[in-house]
C-alpha cells in the first residue's frame, strides 16, 4: 500500500530539525555508509550498510530508518512518519549537486523491484543528467514539469525567485511539498497534465525530465507518457515555448525514434519548426529496439522481464533505433527562423555543464557574423596534450590533442599551425590579424590562409574551445 505523503507534512519541520541536529548531509551519509552506498541500496544489499551504521549516534539512527528502511528506533521519528510495520513510511535521499545539498523524500522500493503505477521514485541517473545540463544563473521564475519527488525543483530553488513544480501524479505533488518542507524552502507544487497547470504563465527557465520512454501503455506514471511512440516528447517541445518568457531557456530530456528509411536527426530537427526557439540537441545514446527494451526492463521491471519483453519489442517494429538526449531551447526575441544544432556527444561530460547551454546559444550568434573580425579567446580549461616519438633529432611531437576539462569535454587533434594560432587567441586581437601573421610566416596570402583556417576555427567555436 502506498503511503499518502500529505499525512507526513505536519511533522516535517520536526524531522527537518532532527536531520539538522544530526548533521545530515550527502557528505555525512557518504562518510557513515560509504561512498558507494547507493549501489548497495539499488541492489537491495543492506547488510554492509547496517554494519556501518550500527550504534546510537543520531545520524546513524536516522540513516538506518530513513535511508536503509530498517525498523525505527524509539524516539527517532514522529509517530506519523512510522508505518504499522515499524519502518519509516518514506525514504530520504540526500544529494549534493553543483555545490548544493538537497534531500529528496520518496517511496520505499527501487525501480528494478516491482513498482506500483503511482510510485514516486528517488533520484536516478536521468535526474542527474538533467540536473547536470541545467543552467544555474539567477532567474526570476522556474518551472519543473514532471517534478516527481522534487529534485529539479529543489535544485532550482537555489537560483530562482520562484519555482513552480507540476506533476500529473498527485502523489508526486505531495512528495514535492514534503521535500520543500524538509528543505525549509517554498515551492509552488501543482497537479495537472503537461502544461495545463501553468497555462498563460511565463518562465525564464523550464526544466523537465518527463516520462520520455517509448513504451506500450501506461504501466508506470513516472516512466510511461501513454502517447504513441515519441509523441509526448514532440508535443512537449512544440508546446513548451508558450510558457517561455522572451529570451527564456528550456532544458529537457527526450527520446526520439529513428524509423526505418527515415533520417532520425531530421526527425528531431523538425520538432522545433514553428517554436520560435533556437535549439540544441545533445544526443547521448542510440539504442536498437532489443537493447532499448532490455535496458528499461532491467531498470524498471526486473521481476517481469520475460512476460513484457516480446510485446514491447514487437511494438517497436519499423524502428531502427531510439535516441536519448538533452534538448535545450532558447526563445528568440527577434522573430527570425530558429537555428537547430545537433551534436552526438559520446564522451563523458563534466558533472555539471549547464553553463554550456547558455554559451552554446551565444556562440551560434557569433558564428552568424564575420569570425575574422572577432578577438577570440581560448577557453581557460583547454589543455594541449602532445605525444612525442624519439627521432634522430630527439623527441618529436607526432600528435597533438586538444582537450577540454570542463563542459562537454570535447577533444580533437590539431596540427602545429593550429596549436600556434590557438595559443595566440588571448582575446586581444581579431582573428583576422592573427591569421595574417601566420600566413606571412608560411608564405601564404592572408585570404588563402583564412580560407584554410576558418572551417577549423568554426568547429572550435562551435564546440566551445574558442569564445569571444
Contact footprint for ligand SAM (CB under 6 A): 123, 127, 130, 146-148, 151-152, 166-169, 172, 193-194, 209-211, 221-222, 225
CB-based burial, 282-317: b 16+ in 10 Å, e otherwise: bbbbbbebeebbbebbebbbeeeeeebeeebbebbe
Instruction: Report the alpha-carbon distance of residue 387 to residue 294 in Å, rounded.
Output: 41
**What CA–CA distance (Å, rounded) separates 18 from 123?**
22
Nearer to ligand SAM, 210 or 338 (CB): 210
Cβ proximity of 455 and 370 under 8 Å:
no
Task: Kindly state the helix (H) or strand (E) to which residue 244 belongs, with its residue range.
Answer: strand 244-259
Min dist. Cβ of residue 255 to ligand SAM (A): 11
Cβ closer to ligand SAM: 32 or 194? 194
**Closest separation in Å from C-beta 299 to ligand SAM:** 11
Nearer to ligand SAM, 168 or 330 (CB): 168
Min dist CB 237 to ligand SAM, Å, is 14
Residue among 209 and 463 whose Cβ is closer to ligand SAM? 209
Which residues partner with 256 through β-bridges? Answer: 323
Closest contact distance (angstroms) between CB of 164 and ligand SAM is: 12
Q: How far is CA 116 from the centre of its chain?
A: 25
Cell digits for 109? 522500493
Q: Are 87 and 65 in contact (CB under 8 A)?
A: yes
Smallest distance, ligand SAM to C-beta of residue 186, A: 18
- Compute the least distance from the CB of residue 124 to ligand SAM, in Å: 6
Q: How far is the CB of 106 from ligand SAM (least distance, A)?
A: 9
328 - beta bridge partners? 251, 280
Q: Are 63 and 32 in contact (CB under 8 A)?
A: yes
Q: Which is nearer to ligand SAM, 37 or 168 (CB)?
A: 168
Identify which of residues 209 and 255 has a Cβ nearer to ligand SAM in the complex.
209
Residue nearest to ligand SAM (CB): 148
On whether the CB atoms of residues 436 and 373 are closer than 8 A, the answer is no
Nearer to ligand SAM, 128 or 286 (CB): 128
Contact yes or no for 343/280 (Cβ under 8 A): yes
Amino acid at each position: 500500500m502506498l503511503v499518502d505523503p500529505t499525512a507526513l507534512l505536519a511533522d516535517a519541520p520536526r524531522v527537518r530539525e532532527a536531520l539538522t541536529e544530526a548533521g545530515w548531509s550527502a557528505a555525512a551519509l557518504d562518510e557513515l555508509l560509504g561512498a558507494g552506498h547507493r549501489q548497495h541500496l539499488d541492489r537491495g544489499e543492506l547488510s554492509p550498510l547496517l554494519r556501518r551504521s550500527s550504534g546510537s549516534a543520531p545520524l546513524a539512527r536516522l540513516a538506518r530508518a530513513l535511508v536503509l528502511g530498517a525498523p525505527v528506533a524509539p524516539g527517532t521519528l514522529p509517530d506519523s512518519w512510522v508505518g504499522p510495520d515499524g519502518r519509516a513510511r518514506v525514504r530520504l535521499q540526500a544529494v549534493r549537486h553543483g555545490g548544493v545539498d538537497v534531500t529528496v523524500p520518496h517511496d520505499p522500493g527501487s525501480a528494478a523491484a516491482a513498482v506500483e503505477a503511482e510510485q514516486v521514485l528517488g533520484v536516478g541517473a536521468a535526474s542527474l543528467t538533467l540536473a547536470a545540463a541545467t543552467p544555474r544563473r539567477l532567474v526570476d521564475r522556474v518551472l519543473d514539469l514532471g517534478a516527481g519527488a522534487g529534485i529539479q525543483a529543489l535544485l532550482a530553488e537555489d537560483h530562482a525567485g520562484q519555482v513552480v513544480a507540476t506533476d500529473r501524479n498527485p502523489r508526486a505533488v505531495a512528495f514535492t511539498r514534503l521535500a520543500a518542507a524538509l528543505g525549509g524552502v517554498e515551492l509552488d507544487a501543482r497537479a495537472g497534465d503537461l502544461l495545463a497547470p501553468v497555462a498563460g504563465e511565463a518562465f525564464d527557465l523550464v526544466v523537465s525530465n518527463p516520462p520520455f520512454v517509448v513504451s506500450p501503455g501506461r504501466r508506470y506514471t513516472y516512466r510511461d507518457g501513454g502517447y504513441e511512440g515519441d509523441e509526448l516528447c514532440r508535443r512537449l517541445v512544440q508546446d513548451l515555448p508558450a510558457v517561455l518568457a522572451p529570451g527564456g531557456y528550456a532544458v529537457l530530456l527526450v527520446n526520439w525514434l529513428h524509423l526505418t528509411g527515415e533520417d532520425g536527426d531530421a526527425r528531431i530537427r523538425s520538432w522545433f519548426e514553428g517554436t520560435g526557439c533556437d535549439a540544441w540537441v545533445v544526443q547521448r545514446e542510440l539504442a536498437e529496439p532489443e537493447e532499448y527494451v532490455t535496458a528499461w526492463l532491467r531498470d524498471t521491471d526486473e521481476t517481469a522481464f520475460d512476460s513484457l519483453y516480446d510485446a514491447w519489442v514487437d511494438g517497436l517494429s519499423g524502428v531502427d533505433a531510439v535516441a536519448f538526449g538533452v534538448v535545450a531551447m532558447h526563445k528568440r526575441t527577434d522573430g527570425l527562423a530558429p537555428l537547430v544544432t545537433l551534436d552526438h556527444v559520446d564522451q563523458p561530460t563534466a558533472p555539471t555543464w549547464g553553463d554550456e547551454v547558455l554559451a552554446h546559444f551565444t556562440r551560434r550568434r557569433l558564428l552568424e557574423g564575420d569570425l575574422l573580425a572577432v578577438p577570440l579567446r581560448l577557453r581557460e580549461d583547454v589543455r594541449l596534450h602532445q605525444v612525442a616519438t624519439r627521432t634522430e633529432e630527439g623527441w618529436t611531437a607526432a600528435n597533438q590533442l586538444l582537450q577540454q576539462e570542463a563542459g562537454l569535454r570535447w577533444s580533437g587533434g590539431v596540427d602545429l599551425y593550429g596549436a600556434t594560432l590557438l595559443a595566440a587567441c588571448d582575446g586581444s586581437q581579431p582573428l583576422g590579424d592573427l591569421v595574417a601573421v601566420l600566413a606571412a610566416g608560411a608564405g601564404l596570402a592572408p585570404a588563402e590562409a583564412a580560407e584554410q583556417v576558418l572551417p577549423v576555427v568554426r568547429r572550435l567555436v562551435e564546440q566551445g574551445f574558442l569564445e569571444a
